[in-house]
Chain A
Amino acid sequence: MAKRLISNRTNKKMFKMTPWLFLLPSILILGTFLIYPILQAFHWSVLDYKLISGTGEFVGLENFKELFTDKAFWNALLNTLLFLLIVLPLNIFLPMVLAVLVNQKLRGVTTFRVLYYLPFVTPMVVGALMWKMLYSQNGMISDFLVKLGIFDSPTNLLVQQGTALVAVAVITVWKGLGYYMIIYLAGLQSLPKGVYESAEIDGASTFQQFRKITVPMLVPSITLVSILTIIAGMKVFDEIAIATGGGPAGATTTLVIYIYNKFMSLDVSIASAAGLVLLILAIIASLLQMKLTSKREDDLRA
């Protein structure tokens, strides 16, 4: 009996190694190519790091001082927030409407769903290039806007200071439509059917049903879509880099593009400091959003 207990104990000890053996390859890979560079970025943000010589001296908070006195940084921060302000309502609303549409029991609905997923499965570089052609001065969008009488002469929205950010945001929203629609569809399919039936009996119109039943009951999905949009929206790079390159005159230079430009001019310490600001924003945004929406859910319940 005693012997068995001991062997059991050693057995248990040996077992503790096993989970780490499972984890080992991923720990090595993520540790080397993810965690280590992240920690290094933290470190570089307080150095004047030179990429070429591979050395840097401790400068304290100098990089952050330089960052916070750089007008281009504030412009980039503002553009990131503006970009989110444009994308967020569109991402919350449009895919929701789409989900409600394709959730109907109608013929051909599955085909429409597939057509709505297409942008999502398209590499962003391709999506951005296609839209860049659509936006071009002789392209369809410009033609359309002239015909509508919005512009007198052919105009490329991507090169206008006032419209470039919105024009790029449209590409982001277009690409995400199918993705967020799937999230809303999952939410819709978990809703109880009975509510709609009794609303119908009470004579509620389609619009009223949407506003009074669908939207409030989809709050968990709205939360999820918002968080995903904010976190992804802050990191948007491809479509901006391809469609405008951050221009015209910095009008689409978001924080991410700012960091990229700093990196390309080898100011890696400033880039790291700006990267930390981006990280902090991402953390704050998700915490804040979770808090706000959980409160709204409580209000609904009360």
Chain B
Amino acid sequence: MQVNQLSKRIWIYALMLLVAVTTVGPFLLTLFISLKSPGEGIYDGFLPANPSLINFVEAFERANFGSYFINTIIVSAIAIPLNLFFCSLAAYPLARMEFKGRSFALVLIISTMMVPFQLFMAPLFQLAGELGLHNTHVGLVIMQVSTAFGIFLMRQAFLRIPKELEESAYLDGANKFQVWYKVALPLVKPTLITLAIFTFMETWGDYLWPLINTTDSSMYTLSIGLAQLSQNFDGANLKLVSAGSILTVIPTLLIFIWLQKYFISGVTEGSVKG
């Protein structure tokens, strides 16, 4: 029995390690390629022979990664606060007030989550053009400043608040907006953080819409800049692509490590059927 338990444990660790190699391996490979010095072939050996940061310097100097970074930060900085504000505002009456049209609004919002973006990207592209939003930061975030997913997530959170807390605020003479702001919002702070993270991931890694909406390379986000750079997928350029990839992924990894538990609750809350 004892031996059995031990061998079972060894098997579990071996399996877990094998999976870890496949999930982490691509990151290590990319990191090592990005650290290879100019003379080195990218596929000659796994580890860099003479590690050098030259590719990261080049990414900023030659490949414009500084400007891509700034654009991506601006886009996230617009999207996150607006999405939190508008979604928590819209979700509140859907969770907490009785009014005509509530179920209609709710069903309409939730059912839009099923609609593939590719269905309406052409009309959206035209609309963005008419509104002068091509090649602008605001134009890049229009899909993220209020999202059906965010409203759904916030509504789930408001539904869990005990009603008594709000009722006592009403007795003190507060109006609905005050109760929302002063009582309800502080109670759903964890979900707000979760939504902030998901909005960040969404804007930081967004690819298709920026690809369509941006033609001016000074407006490229990291995803687009990286994809453009990788058009030339060989030799020396791949070291630059690797350095760019590492630069792009570092902020998301840091935020993930920092706010891990909110990521996880976001997945379980966001995926449970309404």
Which residue numbers of A lie inside 8 Å of B, CB to CB? 15-16, 18-20, 22-23, 25-27, 29-30, 32-38, 40-41, 44, 51, 54, 97-98, 101-102, 104, 106, 109, 112, 114-119, 121-127, 129-134, 136, 138-140, 174, 177-179, 182-183, 186, 206, 224, 228, 231, 234-235, 237-238, 241-242, 256, 259-260, 263, 268, 271-272, 275-276, 278-279, 282-283, 286
- What per-residue 1/0 map shows which CB atoms of B108-139 lie under 8 Å from chain A? 11001011111111111111000000000000
Known: A18-B93, A139-B43. A35 touches B112 (CB 8 A): yes
User: Which chain A residues border B238 with CB–CB below 8 Å?
Assistant: 133
Of B51-59, B161-169, B186-194, B201-209, the stretch lying at the interface with chain A is B201-209
The one of B233, B249, B257, B268 that contacts A183, using a Cβ cutoff of 8 Å? B268
Once the chains bind, are A115 and B43 in contact (CB under 8 Å)?
no
- Interface check B107, CB cutoff 8 A: no
Once the chains bind, are B29 and A140 in contact (CB under 8 Å)?
yes
* A-B pairs, 6 with minimum CB distance: A123-B205, A275-B119, A19-B93, A26-B90, A40-B123, A37-B120
Closest A residue to B248 using CB positions: A126
Once the chains bind, are B121 and A263 in contact (CB under 8 Å)?
yes
User: Which chain A residues border B174 with CB–CB below 8 Å?
Assistant: none
- Interface check B263, CB cutoff 8 A: yes
* Secondary structure dominating the interface of B: helix
Once the chains bind, are A138 and B122 in contact (CB under 8 Å)?
no
User: Which chain A residues border B142 with CB–CB below 8 Å?
Assistant: 29, 33
Chain B 82-99 interface residues, beta-carbon cutoff 8 Å to A: 85-87, 89-90, 92-94, 97, 99
* Secondary structure dominating the interface of A: helix
User: Which chain A residues border B22 with CB–CB below 8 Å?
Assistant: 174
Closest A residue to B24 using CB positions: A115
Q: How far is the CA of A134 from the CA of B30 in the complex (A)?
A: 9
Once the chains bind, are A33 and B143 in contact (CB under 8 Å)?
yes
The one of B127, B201, B245 that contacts A130, using a Cβ cutoff of 8 Å? B245
Instruction: Report the minimal beta-carbon distance from B207 to chain A, rounded to whole angstroms.
Output: 5
Q: How far is the CA of A126 from the CA of B250 in the complex (A)?
A: 11
Once the chains bind, are A33 and B122 in contact (CB under 8 Å)?
no
- Interface check B195, CB cutoff 8 A: no
Once the chains bind, are A237 and B121 in contact (CB under 8 Å)?
no
User: Which chain B residues border A38 with CB–CB below 8 Å?
Assistant: 112, 115, 119-120, 123
The one of B15, B118, B271 that contacts A259, using a Cβ cutoff of 8 Å? B118
- Interface check B20, CB cutoff 8 A: yes
Once the chains bind, are B114 and A276 in contact (CB under 8 Å)?
no
User: Which chain B residues border A183 with CB–CB below 8 Å?
Assistant: 267-268, 271
Could you show 20 A-B contacts with beta carbons less than 8 Å apart? A15-B176, A19-B93, A22-B176, A27-B105, A30-B112, A30-B146, A34-B112, A34-B148, A41-B119, A41-B120, A101-B15, A102-B16, A115-B23, A115-B24, A126-B205, A130-B27, A177-B23, A182-B268, A241-B208, A279-B119
- Interface check B159, CB cutoff 8 A: no
Instruction: Report the minimal beta-carbon distance from B107 to chain A, rounded to whole angstroms.
Output: 13
Instruction: Report the minimal beta-carbon distance from B273 to chain A, rounded to whole angstroms.
Output: 7
Known: A118-B23, A279-B115. A186 touches B248 (CB 8 A): no
Which residue numbers of B lie inside 8 Å of A, CB to CB? 8-9, 12-13, 15-16, 19-20, 22-27, 29-30, 33, 42-43, 85-87, 89-90, 92-94, 97, 99-100, 102, 105, 108-109, 112, 114-127, 142-143, 145-146, 148, 151, 176-177, 180, 201, 204-205, 207-208, 211-212, 222-223, 226-227, 230, 233, 238, 241-242, 245, 248-249, 252-253, 255-257, 260, 263-264, 267-268, 271-273
Closest A residue to B234 using CB positions: A136
| 16 further interface pairs, Cβ-Cβ under 8 Å (given A30-B148, A54-B126, A278-B119) | A18-B97, A19-B102, A20-B93, A29-B145, A38-B119, A114-B260, A123-B205, A123-B248, A125-B205, A125-B222, A130-B29, A133-B242, A206-B8, A271-B122, A275-B118, A286-B114
Q: How far is the CA of A139 from the CA of B26 in the complex (A)?
A: 11
Once the chains bind, are B12 and A25 in contact (CB under 8 Å)?
no
Closest A residue to B11 using CB positions: A206
User: Which chain A residues border B230 with CB–CB below 8 Å?
Assistant: 129, 132, 242
Once the chains bind, are B268 and A138 in contact (CB under 8 Å)?
no
User: Which chain A residues border B223 with CB–CB below 8 Å?
Assistant: 123, 125
Q: How far is the CA of A13 from the CA of B248 in the complex (A)?
A: 52
Closest B residue to A29 using CB positions: B146
Once the chains bind, are B26 and A131 in contact (CB under 8 Å)?
yes
Once the chains bind, are A116 and B112 in contact (CB under 8 Å)?
no
Known: A126-B245, A139-B43. A118 touches B30 (CB 8 A): no
Instruction: Report the minimal beta-carbon distance from B240 to chain A, rounded to whole angstroms.
Output: 11
Once the chains bind, are B264 and A101 in contact (CB under 8 Å)?
no
Known: A26-B146, A133-B29. A19 touches B99 (CB 8 A): yes
The one of A104, A237, A259, A268 that contacts B12, using a Cβ cutoff of 8 Å? A104
Known: A130-B27, A182-B264. A234 touches B245 (CB 8 A): no
